Amino acid sequence: MADPYFLQSLALSGFRAYLQPKTFDFSKKRCLAIFAPNGSGKSSVIDALEFMFSKDGTLERLGQRAINNQAGPLALAHNLAEEAKIASTVTIDVVSGKNAANGSRSATGAKRPIPAVATTVNACFAVPPIIRGHTLRTFVEIHTPEQRYADVANWLQLGPLVEVQKNIRSLRAQVKAAAEDEAALQRVDTQLAKETAQAVKTWDEAAVLSHANTSVLAPLDPALMMAALAAGDPAYLELEARAKAEDNKIGLAGLRQIRNAAAALRAETKDAESGEIIVSGAIPTFETAVATLLVAESKEAEERGKAASTVFQALWKAAEPLFAEGVAAPDICPVCATPVADTAAGSAGAIREHLAKHLEELADYAAAKKTLDGAKTAATRAHTQLLAALPGLTGLLGDGEAALKADLIDYQAGIAGWPQTVLPSSADVVAAIIKLLATLDQAIADIESKQGDHTYIKAKAKIDRLLELQADRNLALRTRDELGKLSNALTAQATIISAEIRKKVQSLLDKLQTPMNDIYKLIQGAGAKPIRLELPAEDDTNQQRLNLLIDFAKNRTGVQPGGYLSDSQIHSVALALRMAAIKQFNAGAPIIALDDIVTSYDADHRRTIAGLIATMFGDCQILITTHDERFFNYLKDQLEAKAWHFTRIIGLDPAYGPRFADHKVSDEMIEARWVAGQSAANEMRQAEEEWLLGICRDFGVSVRIRPLERAYSYERSELASALAGLLKDAKLAPALVPGVNNRFLDSLVKGEIENFGSHFQDGPYGDGSIGDEKARWEEFKIFRSQFACKKCSRTKFQRPFTLKKPVCAHDGCEAQFEFAAAPAGMA
C-alpha cells in the first residue's frame, strides 16, 4: 500500500486576509490549532486549502462570478495585493513516505489552473476533508435523501454504480411513459375526425368502413362497396382502375393549365370598383413597350437637333460662372483673348443669355436621352418575356386548335426578329386567344357543375388517407405493445441490478455506521441513541435514497433526527458522520480541516471533542481554527505537544495581515527595509516590544493589572519598567551599552529614535533618519545579546514562584540567570 500524503507546508501570499507572505510549517509538528477572534483571518487558512484543491479555482461560498450573495473569484486576492505588488498565491508542499512534491496556484486571473500535486492529493479525498461549523448541519437537516445518497455513494467510491442506477431508472421511466403514451392514437383519431367531417371521431373499423362506402363510394356508384378497409379489397382495386382511366382523360386540371397559358399571353379582367376592363398579358405589355420606345426615339432625335453643338458643352459649363449674375465679368474673352466689346455678342449680358439658352437645350436633351434608355430596357424585357410565354401555350394545344397553333408559331417567328424586322400584327392571334379563353371557361364551368367533388380520383385519395390512418394506428399499437414488453424486461433487470448495488451500498454503510456511532456516543455520552443509515426497502423502486433514522422513544421509532434531537445533537450527528467517513475513506490523504466546529456545544462537549481528536484521530493530520478560547485550551491540554503546533492571532493588520503571537519581526526583515531605502522604525518598535514581552514572560515579571477594556495589552514602557524592577530586586545589572550613558531599559521606555520614524512629528525636520535607526538597532542587539544563558547560550528562561532569579528553561541546564558578555565586535 502506498504511503499516505501529508502536508509539509502551506504558504499564503496576498490571499484573503493574508497580504504579506505567511508559511505554516508542518515538517516538525504535523497538526495545527489556531485561536483567534472572529474577523481576524483564521478561516483564510482553511480557505487556502479549499482553494488549492478546488477544481474550478474558487471557494464554494464565493462562486464562479459575483452574483446574488457571492463575491466571485475576485474576493480571493487581498484587496491591497496589486497595489503592494504582491502575487496572490497559495503554495503547498506535500510528502508521501520519502517522496516530496510541491505546487503553487495563483488566486488571480481567469483560469487559475490547479497544480499537479493538488490534483494527485485531491484524488485521495473520497470525502471532502474540510468541515466548517456553519455548513455542518446541512447534510442532516437540509439535504434530501437523494442528495445524501449521492454524497455517501461518492464517499464510498460508488459513483459509477450510482450512475448505472440513475441511467436504468431514467430509461425505465422513459420506456414506461412511452408505453403508456396515447398521443399517437389520439393523433389518428383527430385526423380521422377531420377526414370524415366529424362523422367518425374515434377509430372503429366497422364505422370507418361504413363511412367509406356510404359517403365516398356510393355517390359515384352505389354498387361499388368495399368488404374490408384494405388495399387488396376487390372494390378498392376497381376504384383504382376507374381513377386511372379518369386521370387519362383531360380534366379540370388540364383545362385550367391551358387557360393559364393563354391568359399569360393576353387576358381581360374587370375592375371590381370602377368596372373598367383591364387588359394584361405578355402581348399587350410588349406592344405598349414598343410604342413607348418609338415615342422616346422621336423625342430624343428632336432634342438632339436642338443641341447639335454639344461639343461646346464643357466650354459653356466652364464659362457660366465667369458671366454669372452679380459677378464682375472679364473684359477680355478667356478663350481667344478678344475684348468682350468686340465679340459677336458685344457685351457680358448678351454672352450670359447665350450661355443660358444653350445649357437649357442641353438639359432637355439629357432628359430625353434618359427616357429613351429606360424605354429600350423595358421593351427588351417585355420582348424576352413574350418569347418565353408563347411556347407555353403552343405546346399545350391539341389538334382541335391547329389554326391557333400555326398562328402562334408564325407570330413567334416574327417577334423573334424584332427589332431588326418589322413588328408583326397580333390582331389575329389576340382574337383567337380571346375565343379560346371563352371556350375554356365554358368547358371548365360545365365539368365543375356536373362532377363537383365526386370523382374517382378524389374518392381514391380519401380512401388512401383512411388506409394511411389505419396503418399509423396499427403501428402505434404494435409500438406500444413492444414498449410494454421492454418496460417489463427493464423492470426485471433493474430490480436485479439495484438489489446487488443495494447489498454493496448497505454493507459499506454498515461499515461506516459503527465508527460514526462510536464518535457520536463519545461526544453525546454512552446513553445517546444510535443513528441508523438505512436504504429504502428492497421492493422500493427508488433505491437512490439514504435515510438518517433514530429510535427516539418507544413510540417514536425510525424518525428523522432533525425533528427530535437538540441543536448540539444534530451538530454531533453531522460531525460524527463526516469525521468517520474521512477516517474510513480518505486513507490516501488523512487530512482533516476543522473550521469553528464547536459553536453549538457547551464546555463539557468541547472538552469531549478535544479528547476525541486525541484518541481516535492520532494518525491524521488535523488543522483546527476556532474562536472559542476554552476549546483551544482543551486542545492544548489533551493533545501531544510534539505533534501539535498551537498559535494565536493577536490582531489583524490591514497593511500586513494576521499577526500571530509567535510571529516575530526578524533582524533580516529590518535590514531588508534599509536595503530597500525605507525606514524600519515601525519594525524596530514591534521587534523591541516582542522581545520585551517574551523576556518578561520568561522572567515572570510583575505588572500592574490593566483596565478591563485593555486587559492583555501592555505598552513597551510598562514592560521595560517591570523588567528593570525585577532585575533591580534580583541584584542583576546588565552592562552599559556603548554610546548610551544611562540604563538601556530606560532608553527602551522612551524609544526616541523609533518614535521619530514611526510617529508624526510637528517639526519640519522631524522625520526619522535611517542612519540613526541603524545605530539604535545595533545598540539594542548588544543589550539583547546579554540575555543568554552563560552555561548553554540558550535564550529561553523560566522563573518558578519559589525562585527570585530566573533559570535556564532547558531541562539539561537550568543554570541560574546571569548576564552574558556581549559578543566582541558588536559595538
pLDDT for 47: 94
CATH homologous superfamily of 1-125+588-656 equals P-loop containing nucleotide triphosphate hydrolases (3.40.50.300)
- Position 324: which residue type? A
Tell me how far the alpha carbon of residue 796 is from its chain's centroid.
Answer: 57
Residues 400-417: tens digit of each pLDDT: 788 888 888 888 888 888
Higher pLDDT, 498 or 139: 498
Nearest of 521, 576, 496 to residue 165 by alpha carbon: 496
DSSP 658: E
* 3-class secondary structure, 528: coil
Residues 230-273: tens digit of each pLDDT: 999 999 999 888 888 776 655 667 778 888 888 888 888 888 78
Q: Per-residue pLDDT for 699 more than 70?
A: yes
pLDDT for 821: 83
DSSP 396: T
Q: Per-residue pLDDT for 316 more than 70?
A: no
116-121-123-127 Cα dihedral, nearest 10 degrees: -150
pLDDT for 827: 47
Cβ neighbours around 514 below 10 Å, total? 12
Lowest mean pLDDT among 92-101, 286-295, 436-445, 704-713: 704-713
Average pLDDT, the chain: 82
Instruction: Tell which phi-psi region holds residue 825, choosing left (phi > 0), alpha (psi between -120 and 50) or beta.
Output: left
Mean pLDDT of 193-220: 90
- What stretch of H or E contains 436? helix 427-451
Q: How far apart are CA 88 and CA 106, in angstroms?
A: 6
Model confidence band, residue 718 (pLDDT cutoffs 50, 70, 90):
confident
Q: What share of the chain is helix, strand, coil (3-state, %, to 5)?
A: 55, 10, 35
What contacts 24+ positions apart, CB below 8 Å, involve 604-607? Answer: 605/523, 605/524, 605/568, 605/572, 606/630, 606/631, 606/634, 607/634, 607/638
Q: Per-residue pLDDT for 93 more than 90?
A: yes
* 3-class secondary structure, 604: helix
Please report, for the chain, the start and end positions of each structural domain, with discontinuous segments joined by +. Answer: 1-125+588-656, 277-447, 664-787
Residues 659-673: tens digit of each pLDDT: 887 667 788 878 888
Q: How far apart are CA 60 and CA 72, in angstroms?
A: 9
| Sole residue written with cell 374587370 | 270
Residues 745-790: tens digit of each pLDDT: 887 877 666 665 555 444 445 555 888 889 888 989 999 999 999 9
Cβ neighbours around 571 below 10 Å, total? 23
pLDDT for 311: 45
Residues 576-592: tens digit of each pLDDT: 888 988 998 899 999 99
Tell me how far the alpha carbon of residue 128 is from its chain's centroid.
Answer: 24
Cβ neighbours around 363 below 10 Å, total? 11
pTM given for the model: 0.53
- Contact 500/593 with Cβ under 8 angstroms? no
Mean pLDDT of 334-342: 64
Cβ neighbours around 150 below 10 Å, total? 19
Q: Per-residue pLDDT for 368 more than 70?
A: yes
